[in-house]
Structures are given as C-alpha cells and as structure tokens.
Chains A and B, each alone.
Chain A
Amino acid sequence: MSKLCVVVGGGMVAHRFVEALRARDDADEWRVTVLAEEPRPPYDRVALTSYFENRDPELLNLGEKHLWTDPMVRLRKRSKVASIDPAAHTVTTEAGMSHAYDALVLATGSYAFQPPVPGHELPGCFVYRTIDDVAALRGYVEKLQERHPERTVRGAVIGGGLLGLEAAGALKKLGAASTVVEFAPRLMPLQVDDGGGEALKRLIEDTGVEVRTATATAAIKGRTAVEKMTFNDGSAIDVDVVIFATGVRPRDELARDAGLEVGERGGVVVDDGCRTADPDIFAIGEVACIQGRVWGLVGPGYTMAEVAVDQLLGKAGTFTGGDLSTKLKLLGVDVASFGDAFGTTEGALSVVYTDPIAGVYKKLVLSDDARTLLGGILVGDASAYASLRPMVGRPLGADPAAYLMPAGAEGGAPQGELPDDAGVCSCNNVTAGAIRCAVTEGGCTDLAGVKACTKAGTSCGSCLPLVKKLLVAEMEKTGATVSNALCEHFELSRAQLFDAVRITGLTTFSEIIARHGRGRGCDICKPVVASILASLGNGHILTGEQASLQDTNDHVLANIQKDGTYSVVPRVPGGEITPDGLIVIGQIARDFGLYTKITGGQRIDMFGARIDQLPLIWRRLVDAGFESGHAYGKALRTVKSCVGSTWCRYGVQDSVALAVDLELRYRGLRSPHKIKLGVSGCARECAEARGKDVGVIATDKGWNLYVGGNGGFTPRHAVLLAEDLTTEELVRTIDRFLMYYVRTADRLQRTAAWLESIDGGLDHVRAVILDDSLGIAEDLDASMARHVAGYRDEWRDVLEDPGKLARFAGFVNAADAVDDNLRYVGERGQLRPATDADREAGTEIVDSERRTVLVAGTTLPIGGPR
C-alpha cells in the first residue's frame, strides 16, 4: 500500500515537485494529492505578461497534461487549505474537506505585498501575481478605454524592480501610458548597480515609459476610483490605474498556526533537506526559509522540489544554495545579473564597458588577482550571459574585456572548456556534465533531444545557445563529428548545397552530384536538389532531368492518397471564392465522382482522382479561371484570412485583399518545408495567423508581423518580428524572411525550428532582414522579385506540353486501362476507398470509374461516370 503525500499549493514549484516525484518514484511508493487555491492547474507565472498577447490562460499551463491523469496523482483545484493538524496528520480545506497525509509539502508560495499607502484599497489598484490579477487589470483598462476613447489610459507602477518593469510592459501592451515609481535611487536595485541602473533607465525611457527613481508615494487619491497619485516631494500625477509591484511575502500562515517555526522575515524554517522541525512536513519554494533566507526565484524553488522528492524517496539530497542569476527581457531591454554582481567579495575588481549611445552597460566582477570570475551585470546586451554565468567561481582563461566587446566585434567571447559541474540551466539545475552525458551516453544528437533528455532550456530558454555549443563540441569530440550531411550521397548540408548550386549556377542533378556528391541520389537528396533548383528559378519542375528528381507529389503535381489516387485542391487565394467558383468546383467533383472535404487552409479538397484523370480535371479548372494549387508541396501552401474590415464590424484593415496579394506573390515558392501564412484583420485573430510560419495581424496603424508559428505535432505560436508596418514594408520584410529561410534552413525544417537552431536566433534574423547586418538584403529582394516575375501556372504548362502530358497516362502501353485494384464504397453520401473487409463483404463496391462491381445489374449508388 503506497503512502500519501499532500502538497499544499498549486504553483510552479508544486508542479515541479509532482513531476519529479512521478518521474523518480519507480516503486509507486507515494500517491500525491495537490490542493490548489486557484481554479486552474499550475501555470507559468514567469510568463504571465504573455497572457496579454495570447489571451488564452491554457497556453501558460505547465508540463504534460498526462501528469494530472496519472492514477497516482490527484489535483484538487479551488481547494484552499485552512488548517493543518500535525498531530492527526491531516489538513482541512476552507470547504471543510479533510485530507490525511503521511507527508505534507507546503508549497504555498508568496502573496504580492501592498504597502499601506493611503488609498491603496481604491478601485483601480492592482497587484501582479496571478492570472486572475492580470485578467482583472486588463478588464479594468479596457473598460476605461471604452469610456474614454478620446484619451490614453494612464497607468503607474509602484516598484521599479523586475516585477515592476514587467507590469509596466503589460500596461504598454494594453495601450496605456505608464510611469514607474521606484523608491530606491535606481531601477532594479537588487540586480544592477548605479551604472547599470542609469543605462537601464535610459533604455526604458526610450520605450516611452516614464521613470521616477528615488521617489516615495505619499497617497493614492480619488472619489470612487483611482484618479491621482501624490509623492513625498509634494508633486502629483494623474493616473487611472496603479499596480503595486512592491515585492512578495511568503504565505506561511498555515505553518504559523500549526506551531511551526517561521523565519525572522517570514518563511517556514526548514533544514537543508527542506524538512521542518516536524519530520513529516516539508516546505519548498518561496514559502520556505532555508539557510536563513527566503528565495524569490523559481530556480532555487525547483531545486528544493527535487531535494524534497529525494528525501521522500529516502535519498540524501540536500539544498546547497541557490543561484540568484537572472536574465530577462523587460520592455524589450536585455538585463542580466549573476554571481557577486555588486562586487562585495573582499578585494574584488571590476571591469566595466559602457556605451551610452547604444545604451549598453556591462560589468564583470573578478577576484583580486583578476583571474576568477565572480559575477557581473549586463544591461542592453546580455548575449554573453549564457557563456559567462557558468564560469562564475572559475578562472576566465582569457582577457575579461573580450567578453564585454559588442557582439559585432567577432571573434566574440572566447570559449573556455566548461567544467562538468558548472551549471548551465539554472531554472532546471542542469550541469554541463549532464548535457555532455546526454550526448555521449544518452545518444542525443540534436538540441531537441538534449532538451527532452535533460530538461535544459525548457523553462526560460536563455541557456539554449550554450546548450547547443556544448552539444556540438561533444559530438565533435566523440569523433562522430556533427554530421550536417544531407544523406549518404552528399556531405553538404542543405544550406551549403543551396549556396553551392547558387554560386556555381549548375542546373542539373547529374552535374551537381558529380561535383558535390556520389552515386545516383535518393529520396532525400533528389527532392532537395529539385527544391533548390526550383527556388533558384530553373523552369518547369517537370522539365528535362528535373522530372526525375521530384518526390511523390511534385512528380504529378497533386497529393497522393493511400490507394495511389490523388487529391486536387484548387487554389483559392486568401480563401475568397465566388458562388460561380464554388459551383464549378462542385461540378468537377461530381462529374469525376470525387470525395470532397473543406481543408483547414480554407480550400476544397477533392479526393480519388486517378493519375490519368488529373489533366482532365486541371483542364476544367483552367477553363473556369482556376489553377490547381500547391497543397501537396514543400512550398507555399495557403494564405488564410478572416473577412477583415470590408465586412467585419471589428476589422481595422482589409485582411482578405492582403492575403490574396500575398498568396499570388509567394505561390510556387519552393522551400525546405511547407510554408503557411495567415492574415487577421484585427487583434481578435480569427485567421489564427500566429499558428502560421508567417502571421500578419492588422493594427490601426498598419500590420504586425509574426514569424515561426505552426500547428501540427509540436504547435508553436509565431513570435513578433516587427510592428506597425506599412503594406510595402510588410511585403518587403516577408520577402526577405522567406528567402533567407529558403536559403539557410535544413531539409524539412519548418520556420519555428529554423529560428531556434540558427545562430543568434530571432534577433539575428531580425538584424539580417531589417538592418541588413549581412549585406544580403538587396540580393534577397532580387531573388524574390525573380520568383514573382517567373511564376507560371505549372498545371496549365503541363496541359500545353504534349511531352509532359504523356506521362500522365495510366500505362505507357495501354492508355485506356485503369488500375483494377481501386475500389470504393459509399459513406455519408460520398465514396471512400474500400477496406479489405468491404472487399470481402463484396456489396455496393464500385471501381474507379464509379461502376458497380460484383453485383450485376445494379445502378451506380453515388457519383456518375463522366
């Protein structure tokens, strides 16, 4: 019989505790019940602000859903615990439910502290801690905006720390003006020094947020709601909303009432094993006072969760100290602070680099012999963080100044060999050694594998560049040099091959493989070469030798189905279609007896066409003004749109017109994987554009451009690349983004994975396409211009070329014969391929001419012969 562990609290640390316990409790020693106060499963509080962008609280949920369906785990939402009875080993919820426990884990976290400023209870005062807080803030601001459309809503944030700046960013995202009021003489006083604070203030002010440091709030005033704030220096400002970001306090009241010891400044006192004086009660995360202090970051909380699991399983894990290092992007400004950032170690020296024009401040703190790195502060450019933080406490092995130079001044930061015990991912406590081990023993060969195996980089992601470097270095060391080889015929990667073909100007596979590869190619390299040649504009994809390179679908310009027939998806740019167009498609489908279905990309898919029927169907489409579409290719698939401002009462731009233009511009563009676009006419996002490789969302000033989204197996939301673009700027930016992707991505790598794997990530891509950091923008523009000018209807071209058309015969020596294995049955008023069971049953089966077989004399059930 397993024992019962009760966890009080349903936050991030509680989640990690349950996850770790289930992962390591092989003998099912413990059942676990989580009593959570909030009405939702644990979510990512660190990413709270992203709620303003995606508005879907479920996206913040942590971890795998199956954790909560595990029979050994019970999650009780809306179950706030009211008391603990240590003697009886029970807890009681506010609703009066009693839960017995063998072990109790307190993970109640913190509450947002509101100083007793007069007026702090007025409507319009908020804290910033939970999804409900954030939702309430948003509702309040939106209501004010509706009531006062003539002016901007004014917000203020009390507290200029990490959370305060986060909240100011939230106000900005809501379209409100914001002022940050900080009592200390600088912003983020706990993380940065005066120099860093100064640089930070300038950068924050550049984003349009007002900053008042060394300012104490005297009162918040208003008749029925917040109207004004007054300060101790006698000044005042008009405000509509005030957010308190003045720190958090541990929620230790349950422990106090149960007679457990609490720290001087709050927090349940525990030993290094996270155990209170009562051996059956643990405390972890922000509510725990461990080694004399409370840790307000998720990293140490996760470590405590792991320690408590160790203890429950009878192992010897202890808490050996937390890492207060942080790297954040606040209001678009990079800030990082790590180790002994303030140089409090005796004899500590510091090296400082400042560039007031670029708004960069960097400081490294070193030991008295200037060799060992003790800590540092990075403001404005924190790119060196990932490589520096793990070096804390170790000899730097190079001129410290080299780490501080701007990223452009390559060779960049020197790369010392990181010791195995150096921490790389502080969120999940993963060392360099663990990452190396995942490669050498775990058999991981890519970033995704290492992430899944070690959890490194799965929380904040700031260490991913370093994880990738370690992975590459380790693979090179094990001899199995990280192979970029496309396949057994080409040593080159797709990107290298693309460049080689572009520069040499070779146009046939035979020449390319003779020069760069060996053998006669395969199902991997042939389609890649076909795609590269098509991207570079090499005529019709079925011309000459190119015809023998095309994979299954490109081979016949349609989408193969399980029985060897094809589906045809007429292009309907932007999803806009006339009633006559609908009728034509319907008539074609009826005449050929095709099964029809509406696709996710706003198209009509017609299934069950034999290869010899394809040209006949295309002829009908062409005659009616349609073309077939690339619904099958590694190419632009569709541009999906909502109806936009022409009809919708909320639309702010004509999303349909833009979608049609984009689809006609990029149709036929061959790429490493399929590309999907979406255009939404307002922020309600009905076109689901952020689930696309390129998503465009209308604003009242123009268009916001998002990139790197996809649905499918690993859904991703696209991330913001640029804001408020004019249509012309938007099109140029998409041109460059797509061309750069086409040139540099791996085979079958969609934009999301490409952005993750390319050196420098999104920032690099943004620099290349918006600031022309590689000097290739003009070339990318020219490539796209060539593509647009060179586009032809590939299906019409087949119809007009007898040589190509001849290849669509069913059999080379029997033009009229058809595949006798094709059999169909009726279902819900249409035909579908017959299964083996249907064939055995033998009734109501038709062949590919839709003639009934096996049952003599019966008329056609569905669909007629043409």
Chain B
Amino acid sequence: MTAPVNPVCLLADLLPERPVAALVDGRQVAVVRLHDDRVVAVGMWDPFARANVMARGLVGSALVNGEEVPVLFSPMYKQAFDLRTGVCLSDPDKALGTWDVLVVDGRVSVGAQLTDEAPLRHADVRLARAG
C-alpha cells in the first residue's frame, strides 16, 4: 500500500450516518462514518442521476442474504448502494467505487481507490479550484 494518504478531516467532524464530500487526488468522494464508528468512502458520482451528489444521501441498512449491511441511498432517485462494495443493490452493473480509509488518532485519511466505479468515467470530470 504505497498510495499517498490524504488527510481529510477529524473523526469528530463526522456525524454518524451523515456523509461529507471530500476531494482526493482530484476525485470527489463521499466519506461516511457508520453507526459503529467505522469510516468508509465511496464515489460522489451517482451513476443514475449522473451528478456528484452521493454525499447528500441517507445512510441506513438493508438485508442482503440475511445480513444487515450498511447502505447509502441516492438523494435523487433513492437507489441503495452497498457501502462495503459500492455496488447498487437493485442494479449490480452500477457501482460508486470504493476508497481505502484510515483512521489514526482520530484523524481520517482517504487512500487509494480500491474498486472501480461502474460504468467507468473519463478524466474530464476533474475538479478545478475556484478563485
């Protein structure tokens, strides 16, 4: 794991089950502190709505194969995404992509992208700094 680690915020800055948006290497991610204080990160891009909105979705749980798993709901059309894998529960061809998260001494950092978003997006959605 040699990917650069990007400090994002303090764990205390994160409200459980209320995601925030962060910029990691020019990519937009939604950082989620779960009810049990685990922290995960998925892509901001909603593949259905085609907009960067996932950090404004609700976090909850859904039964998947008998197991209660954490999910993130699109704020636009309410599709549920499995926060462990980033994959949409109702359409496995759509996924948010997941990022590595480290919490050390109450500091949250986001590392490398672990799984791809689907469908894959091109490089033209980089971010520019306002100024």
CB within 8 Å of B: which residues of A? 488-489, 510, 518-523, 525-527, 545, 547-549, 551-552, 555-556, 560, 562-564, 611, 806-807, 810-814, 816-821, 847, 849
Contact = CB atoms under 8 A, between A and B. Distances in A.
Contact of B75 (A545, A555, A813, A847): A555
Interface of B: 6-9, 13, 15-18, 20-23, 28, 31, 35, 49, 51-53, 56-63, 68, 70-71, 73, 75-76, 78, 80, 125-131
Contacts of A564: 49, 51-53, 56
B117 to A, nearest CB: 14
Given A818-B128, A819-B127, A812 B61 contact: no
26 contacts: A488-B62, A489-B60, A519-B62, A519-B63, A519-B68, A522-B73, A547-B15, A548-B15, A548-B16, A548-B59, A551-B58, A552-B76, A560-B76, A562-B51, A564-B49, A564-B52, A806-B13, A807-B20, A810-B21, A812-B22, A814-B129, A816-B129, A816-B130, A817-B23, A817-B129, A820-B128
A820 B125 contact: yes
Q: Which has the most chain B C-beta neighbours within 10 Å: A563, A816, A821, A847?
A: A821
Given A520-B60, A520-B68, A522-B71, A816 B52 contact: no
Nearest to B125: A821
Contact of A821 (B52, B63, B68): B52
Given A526-B58, A810-B21, A562 B49 contact: yes
A555 B22 contact: no
A845 to B, nearest CB: 12
The 4 closest A-B pairs by CB, nearest first: A520-B61, A564-B51, A552-B75, A519-B61
A549 B35 CA distance: 13
Contact of A522 (B56, B61, B76, B127): B61
Contacts of A813: 6-9, 22-23
Contact of B62 (A522, A547, A552, A820): A522
A456 to B, nearest CB: 33
B73 to A, nearest CB: 4
Contacts, number: 120
Q: Which has the most chain A C-beta neighbours within 10 Å: B56, B80, B129, B131?
A: B56
A812 B8 contact: yes
Nearest to B16: A548
A812 B13 contact: yes
Contacts of B126: 820
Given A520-B60, A525-B60, A548-B15, 9 more contacts: A519-B60, A522-B58, A522-B60, A522-B71, A526-B60, A551-B58, A552-B57, A806-B13, A818-B130
Contacts of A819: 28, 52, 127
B51 A563 contact: yes
A488 B63 CA distance: 8
A525 B125 CA distance: 34
Contacts of A818: 127-128, 130
B9 A556 contact: no
A526 B59 CA distance: 9
Contacts of B53: 560, 564
B131 to A, nearest CB: 7
A552 B77 CA distance: 10
A46 B50 CA distance: 51
A548 B61 contact: no
B83 to A, nearest CB: 11
Given A811-B23, A816-B131, A548 B58 contact: yes
A849 B130 contact: yes
A555 B130 CA distance: 25
